[in-house]
Structure 1
Amino acid sequence: MTARPTLRQQTGAPAARILGFGSHQPDRVVTNDDLSQVMDTNDQWIRDRVGIIERRFGDKDELLVDFAVAAGAAALADAGVEPSEVDTLILPNCTMPTQIPNAAAQVAARIGIPNPGAFDLNAACAGFCYGLGVASDLIRAGSAKKALVIGAEKLTDAVDPTDRANAIIFADGAGAAVVGGSDEPGIGPVVWGSAGELVDLIYMRDGKYIYQEGQSVFRWATTQIAPIALRALEAAGLQPSDVDVLVPHQANLRIVESIAKKLRAKGAREDLVVADDIKYSGNTSSASIPMAIDHMRKAGTAKSGDVVLAVGFGAGLSYAGQAFILP
């Protein structure tokens, strides 16, 4: 009897870390007063409800792929990594207008990344944390050496402009991170999951427009997400007091503040820096976490070496979070 051959296995870097961040937003700024010209709303109502002051909308001829290319190129420049060094591109999004071709391969070609493994990932607003977890694991397994993770969305293509409950929230943009190998852990384990029994809380109405049961989603997020964030810290061997920067998905300022309050009640420091990019960027789904981090680094409110706790949540209902060190 012939012996079965043994399949060779490969091993990668001992750990993974983030090497750089980048982001991109379209030029067009849309204020609450601008929205009040096309729907029954006003600046104070929007600020009180979701905390948004302004957001960015892409023009008709601007594409999700365009935003992703700009953010990805910026992240590579920040990391000092050449496109030729990247072998994997992961592109979390939920608003790509076509299923085929995917966004990732197009973006890789335009950035100049030669023949990478390239795929889209749809976990809605949890997408970036999912993508970062996958990239870290691929690098540690030896399946990738350097990965580019880009959360990109053009949500204005998927929002009914007359629906004031949703049109005031969503916006466009992209955020990206470069992930590489490391001798010391720079990214903690991803803690992820889903509540599929609540799938009907966020869906595409008529297969065209995003619809969500706002109050139900709010209650779920303000009760369930802080415990998930704490689980991510536990998985990384950290305490709440170790966290310097908290970056929840920028869905609603009231949700962000609720998560921060619950973490402080569990021992997070009073000087914990909490992302509030929602105020000027709106809800950009899978782009919101990396975009917020890039903006905070540029503003100096988050610095190299800081311990970041990120947690994403959204349609599915899907959620994911992890701790990592800022480059």
Structure 2
Amino acid sequence: MLGCVIHGAGDLRVAELPAPEPGPGEALVAVRYGGVCGSDLHYWRHGGVGDFRLREPMVLGHEVVGTVVSYGPGATGPGAGTAVAVHPATPCGACPECAGGRAHVCRDTRYLGSAARFPHVQGGFAAHVAVPAGQLRALPDGLGLRRAALTEPLSVALHAVRRAGPVSGGHVLVTGAGPIGCLVVAAAKAAGAARVTVTDLVPEALRYAAVAGADTLVRADDPDDSGWPREVDVAVEASGVAAGLGTCLRLVRRGGVVVQLGMLPPGQSPFAGNLLVSREIELRGAFRFDTEFDEALRLLAARGEFDGLISAVAPVRDAAAAFALAADRERSCKVLLEF
């Protein structure tokens, strides 16, 4: 079968891989679509994401959907041929975080296409993937596989909004209009936010934010843009750069909440920590997701505007071109590989 393997920075290969067989407790899924995530792009461009560095070749991909093929010994789930989304995380279930109901920050989790542990966890950018059967979610009625490919990144966005606390009736700022930032817009609106302002350097990216439901679009490099708010109730930093965090800290109200969602570069990142003190701002991290995966499926089934965030679908043989397109924020939002 064909798979998409990263060997190092700039070294992405589409290769013939051995087809997997489902082991005990596992399901075999024929992958239809896989979304190219920002972390996939980081592995491709830099050989790592955050503190997670490549140490061996790894199949990329954790935003995958497809159909059930078969099950291994002792495994059950949706019947063969059922369209499913794959939850990419397998928490250990035994660490203090899992015991405390925060499995998404499990210290020994396995996550598809992640170099966080060694040997790395191979991902889902392949024609077939074997995963624990409990990670399958049958698609709700009315949700097709193409739109369902957004389930994982929408789950990330929903978790970030949940970390912010109640946003109903409030003004939310989102810095960064990449795919995740756009989905944060949709998640905030779904949670009842009265107004969402989005900032970015790229006009084309801001147009995708409008598709997601943003009320106000602001050029981040234009201090005179009339859309800049005086203050907001909640700010979600989705760009992964320190400047975005600085914007959030400056504009959130006294006693407000800032959620750092974008993965900042490794090492130290400067930010205006004095504002945390003088304004009693709460700075919270948001990492991946847990039960939001099922919520994301329901939201995707109910709302068709998400289709407008999928800017291209490319066959896996064209993965190199698809990654280049996904990295070009002037030409794309979410790019899918098709298997």
TM-score grouping bracket, smaller chain normalisation: under 0.3
Structure 1-normalised TM-score?
0.27
Structure with bigger strand share is 2
Structure 2-normalised TM-score?
0.27
